[in-house]
Structure 1
């Protein structure tokens, strides 16, 4: 590359123009796969810039997935496929994030936030039996037609505050996760960027990677996603979508203010980005903040379901979307999941339309509140975030604890929790020194108290109470 010079014409910061020029030459094949970019000091001299400016440009290229840096060797261009985007490699799926595929036995499950057991099994069993008796033929066959009541149930369940989707905007899905993935599969193509916060429900970003989408990370602060950084990512990486949990965000429990929602909607409209609003935990809260969909209805997909407030095992989910997206998303959902099973869809719709789902939700909230009270009492004096109605806690670790070390310490003392890496949507250098633990899965209050007491004891003792020589 001794004769190569970047084209720095145009407007904008020099580091951004430099990164854009290198990306354009990679796309055109001028800079080939495996090529070593000029050393930062040499390129800085050639273009009359500072080493810091070139370093920022190279960092942008790394964020875009175009180059990799090797300490002591330099910066190299990654392999490209025919369309000029980085060659896509299947990620390692041996681990479900930082969790093992199989759950260790004999441990207290503080690593799940499914709805607590409030006796809904008996209600579901009754509804299930009656549905099987009423529709034996449909159960024996594949589902090809969705009855209106399934859409009406979704419209009712997804309605919150002033957001009230019509039945013809709803797609029944196999849970909220499947709803989001169907939207990503339908409205993006392999190689497209989907934006995520650094910490989020990372199962979506990992699943998106499995189907060839790239991840763009957007910064957040104590008030949620940073609109300015979202705009920067939109200008630099042109994501097609962004996945957000504006209310009771998982794992940080931040609820995005109305002003930030309005700013996100404005930026998404300006850069033609589709908004995916996961409102799964929002339905447990009584937060009055308007949904993102109220600010940008023409580009927002709202997803929700029954897993956190009614029952996770019945895979009830729906999404509401602009009419132009509905058919594509429904087809994508069928392709990804194999199709909706009649029995589950019917049970879920009956639970919602009968009002039983709402009743179970109220019982679940009461149970969550009792368990959160145990946490607040036991962990008094430590820094953590909680919500009366939401079944998890975001705990900020005191020095000298590291997130992964604290998780391992809890495991050795019989409690399964999640470290911060479980929620990182991509390779992030940010360190949050936090862990998340859920309180809905232990069977009894005494089990909740026992698990939280373990966490408290480890916090009190510090690293002196735990060491690993393995």
Structure 2
């Protein structure tokens, strides 16, 4: 084992990236030759004055860069370079935007890191729709989509409607999924330098994308009922944000659903401080939640975004935004500017899925499959603490001592299961630690793979001490 220590006194970015860059630089220049065992994470953390979690993230990063490999019970070793090729550099900006997931998904792993709709046979339906559309609309497929058929808006009106709230068709905009819709809204109603409110834990693909747009993220605390009104009020008074991104129903990753009283309090604060709201309702139609949408409470300032990705199909990239009055045209323009526009065959396919009744039928089947898989999770993880919902394709698992979120994620990867640590959902750097991981279970093709994945996680949880020591 080497006595080498990284010098993190210089450089930019988070400490874990600086540690990883130091390791990569030492490997590149032969200071750490192939076969060298890196210091145990606990020792290195002590020697350079950082937390074990920081070193764990750094080791995970150099592992993702293909520089090292971990062997259970032996430690982490520098790998040989293949064919003498130069190691591909991953710059800090790219890594920061990518989050904690690897830039390339490892092969032969159980995918518990995606919540896309399960495979329930939708491929055959979509294939037939593609064939029909290709025959009926050859000219439209060969060109750009400039004139949107009314059916695209009607489908969005149907798909977004929930709990008595029905958007006016003139407020609906078809999009390339919920993510693209949210970015179009942020681009339309905020300017570079404006502040966007996110909960401490959130869907960080949006928060990271807002940085690309030159917007700044500000964080607000949440509790077991969602965003805390007093904290939101204080932040509005002090930071003057332009927009807040919310997941009131089935928050990702915590699964919290905000009660009606809390929704009305948040809406009132947003109204007082002229804050726009994006209501991400991706999971709303799956849960059976009966609370009113934020758009029903504050229609003059709420943009509802949703898509088919979680309950019908993620690969077709279909979604919609419902806007406050008089904003649809602006959102349509910013969506085109930020995405390049809607491909006709995708938008037409999504519209037909909804209008022909396929989408609702597929969602029912998806929920039934998810219910069966959530039951597998309950049985496999009995005795451990986690949040789940019978209709939702992920759970929020509390880790027992001595596991850290990043360390457990690395251990799971080593045992063939991909999961998300809590840092993947942090919109900015923070001191708060949750000691949790998100485990999504809709992606594996067979329930047997779901069972195998959960049994692997249970073994890690049960053998915490030995498993932890082998990954630090």
For Structure 1 versus Structure 2, the TM-score category normalised by the shorter chain is 0.7 to 0.9
Aligned partners of 1:169, 1:91: CA distance in 2, in Å?
A: 40
Distance 2:154 2:382 in 1: 44
Shift of 1:197: 0.1
Match for residue 282 of structure 1 among 251, 262, 284: 284
Residue 75 of structure 2 corresponds to residue 93 of structure 1: no
Aligned to 1:327: 329
Match of 2:372 among 370, 375, 400: 370
Partner of 2:32: none
Residue pair 1:195, 1:242 contacting (<8 A) in 2 also: yes
2:340 to 338, 341, 363: 338
Contact kept? 2:410, 2:471, Cα under 8 Å? no
1:124-143 alignment, distance < 5 Å: 124-143=126-145
Structural mapping, 1:28-47, within 5 Å: none
Give the match's secondary structure for 1:117: coil
Sort the Cα spacing of 1:129 and 1:260 in 2 relative to 1 into closer, same or farther, 3 A: same
Question: Aligned equivalents of 1:341 and 1:294: distance in 2?
Answer: 31
Q: What secondary structure does 2:319 align onto? A: strand
Q: After TM superposition, give the deviation of residue 93 of structure 1 in Å.
A: 2.1
Task: Map Cα deviations across residues 437-468 of structure 1 (whole Å, 9 max, x no partner).
Answer: 10101111110000000111111111312434
Deviation at 1:324, TM superposition (A): 2.2
Counterpart contact for 2:407–2:468, Cα < 8 Å: no
Question: Is the counterpart of residue 210 in structure 1 residue 212 in structure 2?
Answer: yes
Shift of 1:231: 0.6
Instruction: Provide the rounded CA distance (Å) in 1 between the counterparts of 2:471 and 2:450.
Output: 29
2:456 matched to which residue of 1? 454
Structure 1 residue matching 2:291: 3-state secondary structure = coil
Deviations 1:218-245 (Å, cap 9, x if unpaired)?
A: 0001221101100111011111000000
Shift of 1:163: 1.2
1:184 counterpart SS class: helix
Give the secondary-structure state (helix, strand or coil) at the position aligned to 2:326. helix
Q: Secondary structure at the match of 1:411?
A: helix
Q: Within 5 Å, which residues of 2 pair with 1:21-420?
A: 92-94=93-95, 96-420=98-422
Query: 1:104 and 1:467 mapped to 2: Cα distance?
Result: 23
Q: Unaligned 5+ residue runs, structure 2? A: 1-48, 50-90
| Secondary structure in structure 1 of the residue aligned to 2:347 | helix
Check the 8 A contact 2:286/2:392 in 1, yes or no: yes
TM-score by length of 1: 0.80
Query: Helix, strand or coil: the match of 1:248?
Result: coil
1:347-368 C-alpha deviation (Å, 9 max, x unpaired): 0000000000100000000000
Which deviations, in whole Å up to 9, do the C-alpha atoms of 1:236-282 show, x marking residues without a partner?
A: 11110000000010000000010100000000000000010000011
* Equivalent position SS for 2:327: helix
Give how far 1:399 is off: 1.3
Superimposed CA distance per residue, residues 271-297 of structure 1 (whole angstroms, 9 cap, x where no aligned partner) = 000010000011111010111111100
**CA RMSD across the alignment:** 1.3
How much does 1:469 deviate? Answer: 6.3
Query: Offset of 1:179 from its aligned partner?
Result: 0.3
Q: Is the 8 A contact 2:402 2:468 kept in 1?
A: no
Q: 1:170 to 1:439 in 2, by over 3 A?
A: same
Contact 1:91 1:209 in 2 (8 A): no
The secondary structure found in structure 2 opposite 1:162 is coil
Corresponding residue SS for 1:92: helix
Secondary structure, in 3 states, of the residue corresponding to 1:406? helix
**How many angstroms apart in 1 are the aligned matches of 2:327 and 2:408?**
44
| DSSP-derived class of the 1:269 partner | helix
Q: Deviations over 1:32-68 (max 9, x none)?
A: xxxxxxxxxxxxxxxxxxxxxxxxxxxxxxxxxxxxx
Could you list the runs of 4 or more consecutive aligned residues of structure 1 that deviate by over 4 angstroms after TM superposition?
A: none
Distance 1:308 1:143 in 2: 25
CA distance in 2 between counterparts of 1:94 and 1:195 reads: 23
Aligned pair count reads: 382
Which whole-Å CA distance do the structure 2 matches of 1:340 and 1:439 have between them?
A: 30
Distance 2:430 2:154 in 1: 41
Partner of 1:182, secondary structure, is helix
Paired residue secondary structure (1:312): coil
Question: 1:183 & 1:442 partners in 2: Cα distance?
Answer: 33
